[in-house]
Structure 1
Amino acid sequence: MPAAGSLDTAAPAFAEVAAELGVSVHQVTLAWHLAQADVVLPIPGASRPASIRDSAAATHLTLSADQLARLNPS
């Protein structure tokens, strides 16, 4: 399993959107998953309180149509 920090290089579009919004790549990834359908329930794993708070904040992150288009696979 890749290290958590590798999302920046493995998914550059997610890193770009995260930089635009001033949030973590993990938040953007979770927000993207949540935007896929009303019945999606991502279950992130975390052991540090800061990571848990960061993941929970993704539920309040709304991605624009342009951002979602850039993140969706072509």
Structure 2
Amino acid sequence: MRQETISNPDKAFSNWPNPNNPNTMRITKYYKEFNGNISTLDTPTGSHRVFDNIDNPNRSSHFPYVPRK
């Protein structure tokens, strides 16, 4: 799922170079909507997010995204 989100994102944004962003870490965010539930029954969602930290790959993350109501 992570690879599919990075390879074929619905949206992707990078915060670098961006002089208006005080965060000096270079991060690319990938967004992907899948058909069907990719999470648990308690938090059903088809949204997936990947945060790729270029400067520190150990801080990268990916997860199903459940919007707050």
State the TM bucket, normalised to the shorter chain.
Answer: under 0.3
**The structure with more radius of gyration:** 2
Structure richer in helix, relative to its length: 1
Q: Normalization by structure 1: what TM-score?
A: 0.25
Q: Normalization by structure 2: what TM-score?
A: 0.26
